[in-house]
Structure 1
Amino acid sequence: MKTPRDIVFFIGNVLLLFPLMCFGRYAHETSPLEISVSFHLNKIYDINSMNETYLIDGYLVLLWEDPDNPFPDTDSAEVTYENSEFPDNYPIPTFEFINVLGKREILNKQLKFFRGGKVMYNERFHAKFTADMDFHLYPVDRQVFNLQIEAFSKDIEQLVFTSAELTPEKLDATYLKEWTIMGTRDTISKITYEHFNGISGTPKVFSRCTFEIITERKFNYYFWQVLLPIFLIIIASWLVFWVNDFSNQLNISFTLMLTVVAFNFFTSTLLPRLPYNTFIEIIIISGYTSIFLTAGAIIFNNAVVLKKSKKMSLRLIRIFRWLFPLLYTVFLAILISVLFLED
């Protein structure tokens, strides 16, 4: 039979522990799960500028603390489950790739429980991703290929990414024959979704982790195969000022115009339809303009000036011989300064 002293002692313990249990439980339930993310890039390849897509093969590792993890009764410091051995009753934090196209293919997955409460999820995956690409400077452009991971269905009050790491520091560029890797960047940000307003009355904020691979397009191919021929065609269009026969002058100008049109068809197959002109398209348009003005100058000289004075006609032709190259050189200098030096 319990004495009054025992009853008083029991009630005192209950009064002392009850607030601690309540507030401790509340803090545990309201503090978000903190996850560190690391991404090891095996390769990035099959970059398609037309579709603005690329393929990524890599390893994703998530690490978090869970004091209640089901660590088995064993002397080992860690326990590993792989693929089909995955425990069905343990909830892995939900996440998604924001900029993935279709469904990612998980080649292998691993779950590790560490004595002391740490849990690590590791998977090797393969998927197609997309990113907004800026082609203003094409084909001397830089592009940022990224991979965005975000918590799914859990806002920052429930789950946050605390750190991000992209490895290796020096990426393998053998799969990027058209690109040079300039560097990498990893960031953690908060993304607000307004469409939750109608449900909860307030927008939801989610944690997002972004890994970026900064690349620069290799220019050599486009210089030798596209830009140099266009410049040579433009220079050739000025040679009509050294041709005396008017019909030959017109034939040369219109033939060169059709050649530039062919180059325009070629470059249009390399890029998506854009609301702006790229650097290479501006060069092609300048080729149209130069050849058109050259033909116009020849027609004006033969139809107007030559009828008035042959001497004046010859003098005008001599002016055109240096005026057209000078104006085009000034145009290129202004174009390069606007597009590249201010970038």
Structure 2
Amino acid sequence: MGTNRAYAQGESAVQELSGLVQQDGGAVYVLPDLKRGETLYFYLSGTSGNLDPLIVLADDSLPASELAETFDARVKEEITAGTDPLVAIPQVVDELFLAWDDDSGDGYDAALEFTAPADGDYLLAVAANPTQETFGDFRLLVGLDAPQVLTGKAEPTGDTIAVLDERDSQSGVSIQELTGTLTAEKRSTFYTLKDVEPGDTLYVFAEATSGDLAPVVVLRDFGGKPIRSGNFLGKESQASFEFTFDEAVQNFEVNIEACCENGPVTEGDFRLLLGLNEPDVLTGAVSPTGETVVKGAIPVKIGLKMQQITGVDQKAENFGVVATVLMEWQDPALAFSPDECQCNFKTYGDIAFVNFVAEQDIAWPEFTLFNQQGRRFTQNQVVVISPDGEAAYFERFSATLQAPDFDFRRFPFDTQQFFIRIDSLFPEEFFVYSDLEGFSEVGEQLGEEEWVVTSYETMINTETASTRQPTSRFSFGFTAERHVSFYVTRLFIPILVILIVSWITFFLKDYGKRVDVSAGNLLLFIAFNFTISNDLPRLGYLTFMDVVLISTFVVTGLVVIFNVILKRLEIAGKIELAQRIDRYTIWIYPLVYVAAIAIVTFFFT
């Protein structure tokens, strides 16, 4: 390598290094100019995520990339031949490398002692244990003639023993491509950068791909203060800038906005390139490579089980439910190493989890029930977190929900739509909902005797109702019909009896008696109407049942008037005219009423 040794011969030296191991790669270092017989000590530990670190040493006869390809090919050969993967992996490592270690330190930490067999350069690779997917930051101690390194507590001496091989480590170079749309309703969006190290340079390029969009790109710090911008005046269809960070930063944002704030709004699709330490990004002619530059929206799978309907209030237009909501998502910030707790998962109650994420400054997909009335009463709440950062949030709750979609015009033969709407409290730049397939359902014993659920569905869409920014909404909707037997026995049969009694009076020849009976029937109907009034919804429009009751009242009243007219004709000596009218009316009455009911039914259906 031609690299000068930065430590004095014959003295112990300790170097401390750090970096990041992702699921698809780690870091490679060169140990230059080692002398035969020199002893090196290594201690490797994970400092974030669920990293199970692995340290490997090889000579420099092959580049690290070729060694990795050879390793993968040999492992596949052994597995194809029927070897247990857990046996094949260490066998191939022993075959290809000079030395390696996985768990000789505390917990999952790696500790290794190595004596150089010959003069020359050597390769040191830091990776994740290949038997499972782990990731996270690491701390590496490298010591020359310094056995105290194996304790993991040696103090660095400022010497350089290992040098990062940037070619094989892909260190610090990342390019990410993003696309989106800006409209008059959504004039801007933002992307939160991952943590940036001192000396990193951010390159940003944006261009319109449709419409008349004039994109403006702005780099803002954690407090929203603008740091750098491109195409600030909005005169071009492209925008770009570069910025070098003097110190490590967190939660910086890149905003892309549609020009202009005080002028006509431009609209269209855009393409955004973000790159770290890659100036060619400014040309717009590069492809994505390396790790992502921005944190990106976290997908959240969500589902709901409706287990009880506690009531349906037709007058207040709301309903009560007992339901269980389950959300699943993965956030690297929640990852942990199992050797921290000697466990494969962590469980938090409601308050404990809220306190935990607050202390760690971690956002989680908090939500609200958009159509909730009053408080939501939580019966059970638990969060389970796996080492890789996968989280499952479980909550069983009861709540009263507004149902503005009720339409009672066909009451009591109406079919109603009910919805449970869950809105994310964070914009879609942070969390995006998707359906948790196979979870959502309607319970078999809902406890609601008046209604029977006929179908249900789940929907995901974007809304701005709960916040001023677009957020994800999960809707659990179900359709229900009434059990009509109650209304048939309590309403329609009594009404039919009242109508039949009114008709039967036409067979009496004594018109005076007919007046008495029909008047009594009218009073009976009025009393009946008062009795059932509490079972009817109080609405600002007529329902099918309202029209039936009004029609029955009018017909019963007309029968009284008709019989009074016949009695008057009889008293006036026009008995033949009265009888002639009576003969026609006795058959016209039921036919007219049946026709009226048919017309009403047709109108409401």
Shift of 1:243: 2.1
Letter of the 1:17 partner, please give it: G
Aligned residues of 2:512 and 2:567 also touching (Cα < 8 A):
no
Look up the match of 1:182.
454
* Pairing partner for 1:119 from 386, 391, 397: 391
* Pairing partner for 2:313 from 48, 59, 74: 48
Shift in CA distance, 166/337, structure 1 to aligned 2, threshold 3 Å = farther
After the TM superposition, which of the residue ranges 27-36 and 111-120 deviates more from structure 2?
A: 27-36
Aligned residues of 2:303 and 2:440 also touching (Cα < 8 A):
no
Aligned residues of 2:304 and 2:441 also touching (Cα < 8 A):
no
The number of aligned residues is 328
Alignment partners' CA distance in 2, 1:183 and 1:334? 30
* Pairing partner for 2:505 from 234, 240, 246: 240
Alignment partners' CA distance in 2, 1:85 and 1:194? 26
Which of structures 1 and 2 has the bigger CA Rg?
2
What is the CA deviation profile of residues 91-143 of structure 1, one whole-angstrom value per residue up to 9, with x for unaligned ones? 43221001111111112211111233321111121222221222112222222
Aligned residues of 1:40 and 1:166 also touching (Cα < 8 A):
no
Q: Does 1:140 align with 2:419?
A: no
Give the secondary-structure state (helix, strand or coil) at the position aligned to 1:232: helix
What is the CA deviation profile of residues 178-198 of structure 1, one whole-angstrom value per residue up to 9, with x for unaligned ones? 2222121111122244994xx
Q: Does 1:80 align with 2:352?
A: no
RCO higher in structure (CA 8 A, sep ≥6): 1
Q: Does 1:292 align with 2:564?
A: no
More helix by share: 1
Q: Does 1:92 align with 2:364?
A: yes
Q: Does 1:106 align with 2:378?
A: yes
Aligned residues of 1:146 and 1:212 also touching (Cα < 8 A):
yes
Alignment partners' CA distance in 2, 1:205 and 1:170? 29
Give the secondary-structure state (helix, strand or coil) at the position aligned to 1:68: helix
Alignment partners' CA distance in 1, 2:453 and 2:546? 25
Shift in CA distance, 178/19, structure 1 to aligned 2, threshold 3 Å = closer
**TM alignment of 1:213-252, pairs within 5 A:** 213-252=478-517
* Pairing partner for 2:473 from 184, 190, 208: 208
Aligned residues of 2:412 and 2:544 also touching (Cα < 8 A):
yes
What is the CA deviation profile of residues 52-99 of structure 1, one whole-angstrom value per residue up to 9, with x for unaligned ones? 333222221111121221424336443222345436131432210011
Alignment partners' CA distance in 2, 1:264 and 1:330? 23
Q: Give the TM-score normalised by structure 2.
A: 0.49
Aligned residues of 1:46 and 1:55 also touching (Cα < 8 A):
yes
Alignment partners' CA distance in 2, 1:57 and 1:72? 37
Letter of the 1:61 partner, please give it: L
Give the secondary-structure state (helix, strand or coil) at the position aligned to 2:591: helix
Give the secondary-structure state (helix, strand or coil) at the position aligned to 1:207: strand
Shift in CA distance, 122/54, structure 1 to aligned 2, threshold 3 Å = same
Aligned residues of 1:50 and 1:270 also touching (Cα < 8 A):
no
Alignment partners' CA distance in 2, 1:194 and 1:118? 27
Gaps of 5+ in 2: 5-31, 33-162, 176-195, 197-201, 203-273, 277-290, 358-362
Give the secondary-structure state (helix, strand or coil) at the position aligned to 2:172: helix
What is the CA deviation profile of residues 204-231 of structure 1, one whole-angstrom value per residue up to 9, with x for unaligned ones? 3222111123211111111111111011
* Pairing partner for 1:150 from 401, 418, 423: 423
Alignment partners' CA distance in 2, 1:261 and 1:55? 34
Shift of 1:174: 5.2
Shift of 1:308: 6.4
Look up the match of 2:330.
65
Look up the match of 2:304.
39
Look up the match of 2:435.
163
Aligned residues of 2:296 and 2:429 also touching (Cα < 8 A):
yes
Shift of 1:274: 0.6
Look up the match of 1:200.
none
Alignment partners' CA distance in 1, 2:501 and 2:446? 39
After the TM superposition, which of the residue ranges 282-291 and 300-309 deviates more from structure 2?
A: 300-309
Give the secondary-structure state (helix, strand or coil) at the position aligned to 1:34: strand
Shift of 1:327: 0.4
* Pairing partner for 2:548 from 283, 297, 311: 283
Alignment partners' CA distance in 2, 1:213 and 1:259? 40
Q: Does 1:317 align with 2:569?
A: no
Give the secondary-structure state (helix, strand or coil) at the position aligned to 1:88: helix
Alignment partners' CA distance in 2, 1:173 and 1:142? 20
Shift in CA distance, 167/292, structure 1 to aligned 2, threshold 3 Å = farther
Alignment partners' CA distance in 2, 1:60 and 1:112? 14
Look up the match of 1:17.
172
Q: Give the TM-score normalised by structure 1.
A: 0.83
**TM alignment of 1:252-263, pairs within 5 A:** 252-263=517-528
Aligned identity (percent) is 24
Alignment partners' CA distance in 2, 1:195 and 1:117? 27
Letter of the 1:324 partner, please give it: Y
Alignment partners' CA distance in 1, 2:366 and 2:516? 68
After the TM superposition, which of the residue ranges 323-332 and 177-186 deviates more from structure 2?
A: 177-186
Letter of the 2:172 partner, please give it: L
What is the CA deviation profile of residues 253-297 of structure 1, one whole-angstrom value per residue up to 9, with x for unaligned ones? 222222222232233322442111122211110111111222232
What is the CA deviation profile of residues 297-322 of structure 1, one whole-angstrom value per residue up to 9, with x for unaligned ones? 22333335874642222121011111
Shift in CA distance, 248/24, structure 1 to aligned 2, threshold 3 Å = farther
After the TM superposition, which of the residue ranges 220-229 and 245-254 deviates more from structure 2?
A: 245-254
Alignment partners' CA distance in 1, 2:417 and 2:402? 10
After the TM superposition, which of the residue ranges 136-145 and 70-79 deviates more from structure 2?
A: 70-79
Aligned residues of 1:81 and 1:112 also touching (Cα < 8 A):
yes
Aligned residues of 1:184 and 1:211 also touching (Cα < 8 A):
yes
Give the secondary-structure state (helix, strand or coil) at the position aligned to 2:301: strand
Aligned residues of 1:166 and 1:184 also touching (Cα < 8 A):
no
Shift of 1:324: 0.8
